[in-house]
Every structure is written in structure tokens, then in C-alpha cells.
Amino acid sequence: MVGRTKVACFHGLIDRMWSKINNWKIGKLSAAGKEVLLKLVLQAIPTYTMGIFLLPKSITKRLDQMLRKFWWGFSGDQTKMQWIKWSQINKAKDQGGLGFRNFNSFNMALLAKNGWNLLQSPTSLPATILRQKYFPHGSILKAKVGARPSLTWRSLHAGLSLLKEGLLWRIGDGK
């Protein structure tokens, strides 16, 4: 159950990621090895949770901070010199970065994807349940947050705002 203390509920993601980082021998890894571990292991840990819940910004900020510490190296609570801005490293590879994810943006993208899935499959079980509870007489795109919504609906509604920005009608021949 996620109550009023959302930060405390999602703190387990930080703990799991930190335990993984502490178990690896960072000094013995090449830059390519660190990149693989960051992308395939560390960034995958919170993916399922981020697809369902909108994580608090303090949690996503802390997760990004842990990735930075792992990439640049750390000893105890001291980090080493960071030679390039993390925003430059986060860019896609074709833009000169390494393609690491920004957790806050990725969280919003996953929630928008779930909103898209609800739009594409309006007869699915999750869409039917959410329609009955939160938007019985309209479209999911016009639904309001409402009074006392669940964290799942509040999170999905936040993702819908991003989805609305990218939706457009395209006139075509139906192919």
C-alpha cells in the first residue's frame, strides 16, 4: 500500500540500486563495462514501478545521482571529478552523448505509453475498470483527476498530459 509517505514507499528502489552498486568492483571496470551495467542493470531496476506510478521527483533525482556517482566513480561519500556535464552524457549517442536515461522523463514516457495502451484497447480489463471508476461518461482524454483518486490513476493522469501533447489527427485513406 502506498499511503501519504510516497517517498518512503519508493525508497526501496534506491536501496536495491545502491546494493547493486556496492557489490560491483568499480575500479576494475572499463568505461564500456560501466555503460553496459548502467543501461542493462541499474536503469532496469525501477522500470516496472515507473510504468505504474509517478515517482516523486526526489526519488528520480536520487536515482540519477546514483548513476552519476557510479559512472564517475566514488569512494565512500566522496565523488570524483566530473569532467563533463551529466546533461551532455544523457544525450542520445547520435547527439554526442552516451544515451543514459533521465529517470523523470522515462517515468513520464512509460505512463504516457500506458495511457496510449488504454486508448488503443478500450475494451481491455484495465481500461474497463478505470472507465467505470474515473470517466464513466466520457473519454479518458477528457477525464479529470477527481476526488480521492488512487495513486495509479493520479500517475496515469499525469502521463495523459504528456500524451495529449503528442496526439494529432492525421487525414489519410485509412491504410
C-alpha pair distances (Å), 41 with each of 45, 54, 129, 143, 148: 7, 21, 33, 36, 36
Q: Which of these, 152, 175, 161, lies nearest to 6 by C-alpha position?
A: 152
Contacts of 114 (CB under 8 A, 6+ apart): 51, 52, 156, 159
d(CA 69, CA 107): 21
Give the tens place of pLDDT for each residue, 102-134.
999 999 999 999 999 999 998 999 899 999 988
Tell me: pLDDT of 82 over 70: yes
Per-residue pLDDT band at 157 (split at 50, 70, 90) = very high
**3-state SS class at 127:** helix
Per-residue pLDDT band at 3 (split at 50, 70, 90) = low
Residue 78 is classified by DSSP as E
C-alpha pair distances (Å), 130 with each of 123, 154, 157, 158, 173: 11, 11, 11, 15, 32
Per-residue pLDDT band at 87 (split at 50, 70, 90) = confident
Give the H/E segment covering residue 1.
none
- pLDDT at position 84 is 80
d(CA 23, CA 19): 6
Q: Report the range of poorest mean pLDDT among 2-11, 54-63, 164-173.
A: 2-11
Give the tens place of pLDDT for each residue, 16-67.
988 888 877 766 778 888 888 888 888 899 999 999 999 999 999 999 988 8
Burial status of residue 166 (CB atoms within 10 A of its CB: 0-12, 13-18, 19 or more): exposed
- Grid cell of 54 as nine digits: 509517478
Of residues 6 and 158, more confidence is placed in 158
